Amino acid sequence: MPSTAEPDALSAGAKRGRPGYDQDSVLNVAVQVFNKHGYDATSMGLLAENLGISKSAIYHHVPSKGDLLRLALDQALVPLEAISEHERARTGTAEERLEFFLRSTIRVLIERQPYVTLLLRLRGNTEIERTALERRRAVDRKVADLVVEAQREGTLREDIDPRTTTRLLFGTINSMVEWFRPDGPAGAQQVEDNAITMMLDGLHTRNL
Amino acid sequence: MPSTAEPDALSAGAKRGRPGYDQDSVLNVAVQVFNKHGYDATSMGLLAENLGISKSAIYHHVPSKGDLLRLALDQALVPLEAISEHERARTGTAEERLEFFLRSTIRVLIERQPYVTLLLRLRGNTEIERTALERRRAVDRKVADLVVEAQREGTLREDIDPRTTTRLLFGTINSMVEWFRPDGPAGAQQVEDNAITMMLDGLHTRNL
């Protein structure tokens, strides 16, 4: 869908003498084509067609389809990995840090929706995919550790299995890439609050 | 993976003179091939290869690839649709009926995992797929209605958006097709209880 990649006269690509696209715009289109057709089924020819430029013009921006995938996955993984570097991920109770982690993950997912979609649909067929999946698992493990820590400090209930709970937390959050619409009736903040309320406090009024 | 389809001498197929496979066994293999390669990318040749039989032998069981898809989707949709026919889906408070619906959905998902996986991954490219997606949406709407009804009766909190909440409930439950393993450390009943606890009562101990 080339219409979403706005030509930008001040872009790096333009400065380098290729008007119409910079690397971010190419990525923006590439991730949509990957998500629509699947990475394996996407050829450089199909990408060129969607960008409305020649294959050789794509190679001006990136050396290969694998590099496009790596750069697109970084758009999801770098902000996800940055969560644990934040001060609020390092101070306070495990319960507070867990809530910060979950809220931050939801925000990255909403802000980088197509890139996180790409990450979540990876099958691990190539080395680039396997490396990305390993980085994703490292992020997931931080949340799993916080669930155990919060159970130990007594803020999270003991009658739950931490491993299953971590899967359920990510299941709830990750589903958003499939149904959240930026122009839908429920805004990003409302969806974030609603998800946190359900996961941590439950839907029953008897918990109020 | 033909090894999962046990030859059964007493099967309907065998009785009709085709030893080795009955229709259920063919479906069992077909759903795995569809999930692995995607429905669109699966040819009758690929199915025959995975079944270890000839293409014409498949046509003995079903007239077309579309019929295989329809039969496989019914393996998920029929039990999901049956939930609302159960007495417990029709009597009691909206809160009780909602919990029955959610627990029953989890059970179908775990018992019919490959078939529900197929249903959840549908893109809606063909009429058969669109019909199945419409049936799935009709099931989803029953849960959405129960959320609203439980809010009205005062058993579900008011500070949540019913539409978003329904999405989150299905997001949590549907994620199980991707990670639940029948031979994993957490059994079906534990996963069901854990999910219900998180969704309805929350993870915080302060709700206990």
Residue A8 pLDDT: 39
Residue A41 pLDDT: 87
pLDDT tens sequence across B137-167: 999 999 999 999 999 999 999 999 999 999 9
Mean pLDDT for B1-8 is 40
* Contact in structure between B120 and B114 (CB atoms under 8 Å): no
pLDDT at A61 over 90: no
Least confident of A37-41, A125-129, A204-208, B87-91: A204-208
**Nearest by CB to A203, which of B160, B194, B204?**
B160
What residues of A are in contact with residue B175 (Cβ under 8 Å)?
167-168, 170-172, 174-175
Residue A117 pLDDT: 97
Q: Which residue of B has its CA nearest to A187?
A: B164
pLDDT at A1 over 70: no
Least confident of A13-22, A169-178, B45-54, B85-94: A13-22
Please give the interface size between A and B, counted as residue pairs whose CB atoms are below 8 Å apart: 138
Q: Which residue of B has its CA nearest to A188?
A: B164
Q: Is A200 in contact with B203 (Cβ distance < 8 A)?
A: yes
Q: Hey, of A167, A190, A197, which one would you mutate to test binding to chain B, going by the most B CBs within 10 A of its CB? A: A167
Q: Hey, of A133, A192, A204, A208, which one would you mutate to test binding to chain B, going by the most B CBs within 10 A of its CB? A: A204
* Contact in structure between A162 and B132 (CB atoms under 8 Å): no
Give the closest-approach CA distance of A25 to chain B in angstroms: 26
pLDDT at A10 over 60: no
What secondary structure, in 3-state letters, does chain A show? CHHHCCCCCCCHHHHCCCCCCCHHHHHHHHHHHHHHHCCCCCCHHHHHHHHCCCHHHHHHHCCCHHHHHHHHHHHHHHHHHHHHHCHHHCCCCHHHHHHHHHHHHHHHHHHCHHHHHHHHCCCCCCHHHHHHHHHHHHHHHHHHHHHHHHHHHCCECCCCCHHHHHHHHHHHHHCHHHHCCCCCCCCHHHHHHHHHHHHHHCCEHHHC
pLDDT tens sequence across A13-59: 334 444 567 888 899 999 999 999 889 889 999 999 999 999 988 88
pLDDT at B89 over 80: yes
What residues of B are in contact with residue A205 (Cβ under 8 Å)?
154-158
**Nearest by CB to B168, which of A154, A194, A204?**
A194
- Band of the pLDDT at B6, cuts 50, 70, 90? very low
**Nearest by CB to A172, which of B156, B172, B208?**
B172
B27 or B5, higher pLDDT: B27
| Structural domains of chain B, ranges and CATH numbers in brackets | 2-62 (1.10.10.60), 73-207 (1.10.357.10)
Give the closest-approach CA distance of A62 to chain B in angstroms: 28
- Band of the pLDDT at B19, cuts 50, 70, 90? low
**Nearest by CB to B165, which of A203, A205, A207?**
A203
Q: Could you tell me what percent of chain B has a pLDDT over 70?
A: 89
Q: Is A202 in contact with B198 (Cβ distance < 8 A)?
A: yes
pLDDT tens sequence across B187-207: 999 999 999 999 999 999 876
